[in-house]
Chains A and B, each alone.
Chain A
Amino acid sequence: DTAVSQTPKYLVTQMGNDKSIKCEQNLGHDTMYWYKQDSKKFLKIMFSYNNKELIINETVPNRFSPKSPDKAHLNLHINSLELGDSAVYFCASNGRVGGNTIYFGEGSWLTVV
């Protein structure tokens, strides 16, 4: 049973395209996140949703738009992809049951060419 699953795991796409990464958690958590890991392996929060409401929105280009249809899903849509968007994107979740431990998905490796 995969707790936090995200798809696709690998994505290679051309500049200017629009792409989405999907995330689902089956842990019953209230809060979901998107983190970005750059080429130097530094991890930074992008967005956080609690019960489908946006609660953290870091300084991220507005080409990035998160969507949470329900509290088990948080998708990331990226418009007009740029070379600098190449990174690993991690979905994560936590909630009262797990305390403040955050559980991560396996990551989505995005390469923009």
Chain B
Amino acid sequence: AQSVTQLDSHVSVSEGTPVLLRCNYSSSYSPSLFWYVQHPNKGLQLLLKYTSAATLVKGINGFEAEFKKSETSFHLTKPSAHMSDAAEYFCVVSGGQAGTALIFGKGTTLSVSS
């Protein structure tokens, strides 16, 4: 069975400082992993995905994530936070085949202060 655990329900940073959103996964398959972002009252937008190619994945808006199999982690980072990054972030695992449902983490709320 697959699952993801987002280690922080809420992260607060100041504008211009680094962002770290932590995610651990559990999967009996070689996992596909994703980060999605949801801005207030908006839909879900794909930030980036890992599908067994390069372990360091670059996404949109300056975000990146590193797949570490030994630590079963897929943490999301950004060097410098922007006010517009304030949103809900979801770490997600998939079984790896088309048609397999995504399993969502419980989300991390990112707040950015000026």
Please list the residues of chain A having a beta carbon within 8 angstroms of any beta carbon in chain B: 30-31, 33, 40-45, 48, 50, 55-56, 90, 94-96, 98-107, 109
A56 to B32, CA, bound (A): 19
Number of A-B contacts (CB under 8 A): 59
| Chain A residues closer than 8 Å to B96, beta-carbon distance | 100
Q: In residues 63-79 of chain B, which contact A (Cβ within 8 Å)?
A: none
The 28 listed contacts between A and B (C-beta, < 8 Å) are A31-B98, A31-B99, A33-B101, A41-B88, A41-B107, A42-B107, A45-B103, A48-B99, A56-B101, A90-B44, A94-B99, A95-B98, A98-B98, A100-B51, A100-B94, A100-B96, A100-B97, A100-B98, A101-B49, A102-B94, A102-B102, A104-B36, A104-B43, A104-B45, A105-B43, A106-B42, A106-B43, A107-B42
Q: Is B11 an interface residue (CB 8 A)?
A: no
Taking each of B32, B46, B101, B104, which has the highest tally of chain A beta carbons within 10 Å of its own beta carbon?
B101
Q: B98–A96 contact, CB under 8 A?
A: yes
The contact of A43 among B34, B46, B51, B90, by CB within 8 Å, is: B90
Shortest Cβ distance from A65 into chain B, in angstroms? 18
The contact of A90 among B43, B49, B95, B99, by CB within 8 Å, is: B43
Q: A45–B43 contact, CB under 8 A?
A: no
Q: Is B61 an interface residue (CB 8 A)?
A: no
| Chain A residues closer than 8 Å to B98, beta-carbon distance | 30-31, 94-96, 98-100
Given contact pairs A30-B99, A31-B98, A33-B101, a sample of 7 additional A-B residue pairs in the complex whose CB atoms are under 8 Å apart: A42-B106, A43-B104, A48-B99, A100-B98, A101-B34, A102-B102, A109-B41
Q: Is B100 an interface residue (CB 8 A)?
A: yes
| Chain A residues closer than 8 Å to B46, beta-carbon distance | 101, 103
| Chain B residues closer than 8 Å to A96, beta-carbon distance | 98
Shortest Cβ distance from A59 into chain B, in angstroms? 13
Shortest Cβ distance from A89 into chain B, in angstroms? 11
